[in-house]
Chains A and B, each alone.
Chain A
Amino acid sequence: MDTGNTAYVLGSAALVMLMTPGLAFFYGGMVRSKSVLNMMMMSFICLGVVSVIWVLGGFSLAFGNSHAGLIGGFEHAGLRNADVVVGGDTGIPLQAFAMFQLMFAVVTAALVSSAAAERARFWPWALFVALWTVFVYIPLAHWIFAFDGYVGESGGWMANTLGALDFAGGTAVEINSGASGLALAIVIGRRRGWPREPMRPHNLPAVLLGAGLLWFGWFGFNAGSALSAGSVAANAFVTTITASAAAVLSWLALEHRLDGRPTSFGAASAAIAGLVGITPACGYVDTFGALVIGLLAGVVCQLAIRLKYRLGYDDSLDVVAIHGVAGVLGMLLIGFFATDAVNSAGANGLFYGGGLAQLGKQTVAVLAAAAWAFAISFALAWLVRATVGFRVSAEVEVSGVDEAEHAETAYDYFPLTTSGTVARPTGAVDATGREEKAR
């Protein structure tokens, strides 16, 4: 047991946990004021649903000994084996690794919620999250994150047989959330009035707060994925800040040129685009590679956002354009910029004398992850829609999903609209301490 690495991984897990509430603010600020609580709740419920599934058997299915490289087993179900240490040389407890991986599963599910913004019913969403975790996330996590001999003797096909490189989740997290979000947006349909009516973010300080929390947590996400506190983790930290910083600059410069002004919304989106782009590559490229990846992410993702108006799908909060597109970008650029000088477990890309071999592997991983996520998410969303119904009524969508689904509104604009309590619990007392008399 390596106590230093264990402390590092537990701390990183807590950092990644903070990304989900951060995402709740990031997305909550982007919707209209009548939908902000529902938007935040769609993230918060992922902490509930995914965590329970994960400890009961989800982790084991994702990381247990592999069946044909496709899925794990149930040998770690319940996560009660406190004394087990994972294989390899990181020397951390299995439970620490399981918690680190749990936070990835939670935030990925929360990312998908953006595609159903302002129009989904709450419990059907929770049901979708449960199904999606088991049938979409867990297989993908197994394919790319389960290394031979780390938890199970054999792991997933993408990481071990194919040899694709994905340091922190370009496939299982980013491409997955983008492709799943696209499927969900298509099944659930556009928001009423989109794209004719402007649906601008109602609270940009919340968006920036959320982006800040995500940015902070992302150091646990990327650098923590080294699973040991050493030079690979430090390099991932450097590449993470480099790419995200570069993306902010390139996004704002392009936005100023195209739309006339650099927006705070653009800055927040840009940081996330850069972080997504570097996620798969952060442990395999050096600072120069990170700079190029970040600059490209800020340009390509911004142009991708404009596509949804032409293609006609309501990717409400741009998970497809940012996470999907930057995830693909980062995965493919590994094929060009990877260098084993920063990580002996990595490879050399085209620009470092490695030829086209790695790029080919990256392409296969991108296509497989996108196809699996899109197809299964489409089927699951369709199933939820066909059985319990996914969408709120037209009336609720106009009046606001917060009040209809949660009996709450975020901002008490009209406190005069309620004129007193009409029913109280038995034996309730009024403000003077006397039992209230019937009026």
Chain B
Amino acid sequence: MILVTAIVKPFALGDVKAALERLGVLGMTVSEVQGYGRQKGHTEVYRGAEYKVDFVPKVKIEVVVDDGVADKVVDAVVQAARTGKIGDGKVWTTPVESIVRVRTGERGTDAL
């Protein structure tokens, strides 16, 4: 099993979620995060003072999927979240050793 982690622009969340649903992904975990990549921060003017905003708001999406669909899931996220502009985010995968559904005790792919 593979954990797919995606950091995307907040407004892309709806499109990413729809794309994953079309692939039959049955659940996901979403969190609001802040950070920067090559994009760095930006400056804002507020009440007469210029501020450097170091960390930019992003959304982190985590889904665990079967090995066979991992590439398709990554592609779907990339496609849904891409605007072509700087700051679109990153997607990466991590192997997952085991997984248990708490309610039933099912293990492995049955628990997905």
Interface positions of A (Cβ within 8 A of B):
195, 198, 200, 258-260, 263, 265-266, 302, 305-306, 309
Contact = CB atoms under 8 A, between A and B. Distances in A.
Nearest to B48: A306
Interface string B51-66: 1010000000000000
B11 interface: no
Chain B interface secondary structure, helix, strand, loop or mixed? strand
A265 B46 CA distance: 10
B47 interface: yes
A259 B51 contact: no
A296 B38 CA distance: 45
Contacts of B49: 195, 198, 306, 309
- Give the interface centre of B46, B48, B51 by most chain A CB atoms within 10 Å: B48
Interface string B29-72: 00000000000000001111101010000000000000000000
Given A198-B53, A309-B49, 19 more contacts: A198-B46, A198-B49, A198-B51, A200-B46, A200-B51, A259-B45, A259-B46, A259-B48, A260-B45, A263-B46, A263-B47, A265-B47, A266-B47, A302-B48, A305-B47, A305-B48, A306-B48, A306-B49, A309-B48
Interface in B65-81: none
A411 B53 CA distance: 24
A106 B8 CA distance: 51
Contacts of A200: 46, 51
Nearest to A304: B48
A75 B48 CA distance: 50
Nearest to B44: A198
B54 to A, nearest CB: 10
A195 B47 CA distance: 13
A306 to B, nearest CB: 4
Contacts of A258: 48
B47 to A, nearest CB: 6
Nearest to B53: A198
- Give the interface centre of A195, A259, A305, A306 by most chain B CB atoms within 10 Å: A259
Contacts of B47: 259, 263, 265-266, 305
A40 to B, nearest CB: 21
Contacts of A309: 48-49
B65 to A, nearest CB: 30
5 contacts: A200-B46, A259-B45, A266-B47, A306-B48, A306-B49
